[in-house]
Amino acid sequence: MLELCRAAQEEPEAALAAQRWEEWQGLRRRASSRGERRFRRRAYERAREDALAVLLMRAQAARGAPRRGLQAPARMRRGTPVPGQPTTRLRLLLRQYGGRR
């Protein structure tokens, strides 16, 4: 995933994920507090998830996938999680992308 983000530097989300990775690795090399390492790791994970969602959307658009609107169902937008349903934008995209193969 990191190599994919580095290769797609033209996408701001991918560039941010690569930057967050470097920051996190820098902290791991030098002495830093456990809380700061955890904060940087989670910042990287969030950036990585956003980058993956953007790259998946771009890949779908490049394949000529029909534009159906990538929104969660209304019951999800109201904040009522439904068991077995995607709870994040990334999971929704992965479900849609995986279902089209």
pLDDT at 95: 76
d(CA 68, CA 83): 23
Q: What is the mean pLDDT of residues 35-46?
A: 91
For the chain, what percentages of helix, strand and coil (3-state, to nearest 5) are there?
65, 0, 35
Phi, psi of 34 (to 5 degrees): -60, -40
Dihedral angle at the C-alpha atoms of 71, 56, 42, 2, nearest 10 degrees? 180
Instruction: Specify the pTM.
Output: 0.57
pLDDT at 42: 93
**Position 101 pLDDT exceeds 80:** no
